[in-house]
Structure 1
Amino acid sequence: MDNLITFSITVFTGFFAITNPISNMTVFLSLTQGDDRKTKQDINKRANIIAFIIVTVFILLGKFIFELFNISIPAFKITGGILIFFIGFEMLQSKKSNVKNIKNVDEDENIAISPLAIPILAGPGTIVTAMNFVANVEPLKIFLVIAIFGSMSIITYFTFSLSSYVVKIVGNNVISVIGKLMGLIIAIIGTGMVIQGIKISFSLMS
């Protein structure tokens, strides 16, 4: 039981850091600027549902994908860890990926799908993190990962719903600091994945 609780806390922390709902509030507000409340809520709900479906598919099909492309667990952990580390490093440096440049979003584009669901909520980092959590684990832990990401999607939905009020109260500077802290956590998670991959490769697991 203690192992499951520790695993659940680790998964939740990882998902919270990588999806970063607090920092992404400003992105959501910018993408939906000028829309009425109903439109914002529709976009918010659709984006989170799509993100949940995408990540769940990768969680359930992760083992099949590994076998299809002959991907070893150590190679995945090391490569995924490096990718996640650089995502966290960019957040610490306050750099934003080009795919999140909201100034270039086409007004006719369904922003709930792109860029909100993909890649902001269900980007490469989120997918790699999810697949890492279910790599070589029992079915119960796979179910836990899906359930935890589902709860994360619900939290993100309510965070985006309250984004206008939260930004006014705490200000952009506080949100920026939180974003950097999340970046540090993500970088640490990535480093941990690399270490795990190396240990498995050289049979150093205790």
Structure 2
Amino acid sequence: MFLDYVSTALVTLLVILDPVALAPIFISLTQGMTADERKRVAIRSSLIAFFILAFFGLGGEILLRLLGVGIPAFRISGGLLLFWIAFEMVFERRNERKQHTADIAITEDHIRNVAAFPLAIPLMAGPGAITAVILLAGRADGNVGYLAALITLIALGVLSCFVVYLTAGRVARWLGVTGNIVLSRLLGVILAGLAVQFIINGVTDIVTSTRP
């Protein structure tokens, strides 16, 4: 039973986190950064995502009940925020510093901001991942061993994302300036579709729950 829980949780987390799919997004969002700056973004975003998912795994269901906030609301808000990022990526709606990242140093605030949003939230610790850990924690039924296993698996899932992020820096250097620009526009369109899907899923959940 325990092994079945662990295997199910591991597969679920890896599928939802999808580390490989995050690699090109990481490249686009960290364009113009040095290898050291990319590493700092990877570490910070991974830590933020881990603590968020661990928190929701241990007490997320209770918190949501107390606040009266549902998962559909997370999906819609996450989709709206992600769509804004996609809009910036496609149309390059950035200030002068970001437009000339090759010549202007990346600030500490920019590193922190990118790590927290959108990498940690909502791309890693998004509505889907939060929902998954809450449901998996519910299956643990308060068993300390199961909950400890869940936290360990969350750590492994986030660690896999971190490893992919470190590799992504080499891919970015291989692509060069032109390749990164093309990739940024392409991923912006994909992210826009993902954002709209988040919103659709949230609205669908609300409509379904209100039907008699």
3-state SS of 2:79 partner: helix
Q: Which residue of the partner structure matches residue 131 of structure 1? A: 130
* More deviation, 180-189/138-147: 138-147
* More deviation, 104-113/137-146: 104-113
- CA distance in 2 between counterparts of 1:16 and 1:112 reads 24
Task: Give the deviation of 1:175 after TM superposition.
Answer: 3.8
- Contact between 1:85 and 1:187, CA under 8 Å: does it hold in 2? yes
Q: Which residue of the partner structure matches residue 12 of structure 1? A: 17
Q: Which residue of the partner structure matches residue 44 of structure 1? A: 38
- Contact between 1:81 and 1:190, CA under 8 Å: does it hold in 2? yes
Task: Give the deviation of 1:46 after TM superposition.
Answer: 2.2
User: Is 1:121 paired with 2:119?
Assistant: yes
Change (3 A) 1:126 1:190: farther
Q: Which residue of the partner structure matches residue 143 of structure 2? A: none
Q: How does 1:19-168 map to 2 (within 5 A)?
A: 20-30=22-32, 32=33, 40-62=34-56, 63-64=58-59, 67-68=62-63, 70-72=66-68, 75-90=69-84, 93=87, 94=90, 102=98, 109-110=107-108, 113-124=111-122, 126-129=124-127, 130-138=129-137, 139=147, 143-167=152-176
- CA distance in 2 between counterparts of 1:154 and 1:84 reads 25
Task: Give the deviation of 1:82 after TM superposition.
Answer: 0.6
Residue identity (%): 12
Task: Give the deviation of 1:157 after TM superposition.
Answer: 1.8
Task: Give the deviation of 1:61 after TM superposition.
Answer: 1.3
- CA distance in 2 between counterparts of 1:60 and 1:171 reads 33
- Contact between 1:59 and 1:146, CA under 8 Å: does it hold in 2? no
Change (3 A) 1:21 1:142: same
Task: Give the deviation of 1:156 after TM superposition.
Answer: 1.5
Alpha carbon RMSD of aligned pairs, Å? 4.0
Q: Which residue of the partner structure matches residue 36 of structure 1? A: none
Equivalent pairs counted in the alignment come to 189
Task: Give the deviation of 1:186 after TM superposition.
Answer: 3.9
3-state SS of 1:136 partner: helix
1:32-83 deviation digits (Å, cap 9, x = unpaired): 3xxxxxxx332222221121111111111124355357135xx331111111
1:66-109 deviation digits (Å, cap 9, x = unpaired): 5357135xx3311111112223433554367879x736999594
Query: Any gaps of 5 or more consecutive residues in structure 2?
Result: 138-146
Task: Give the deviation of 1:6 after TM superposition.
Answer: 6.3
Higher helix share: 2
- Contact between 1:48 and 1:117, CA under 8 Å: does it hold in 2? yes
Query: Any gaps of 5 or more consecutive residues in structure 1?
Result: 33-39
- CA distance in 1 between counterparts of 2:40 and 2:201 reads 33
Change (3 A) 1:113 1:95: same
1:177-204 deviation digits (Å, cap 9, x = unpaired): 13312331343244334434654x4599
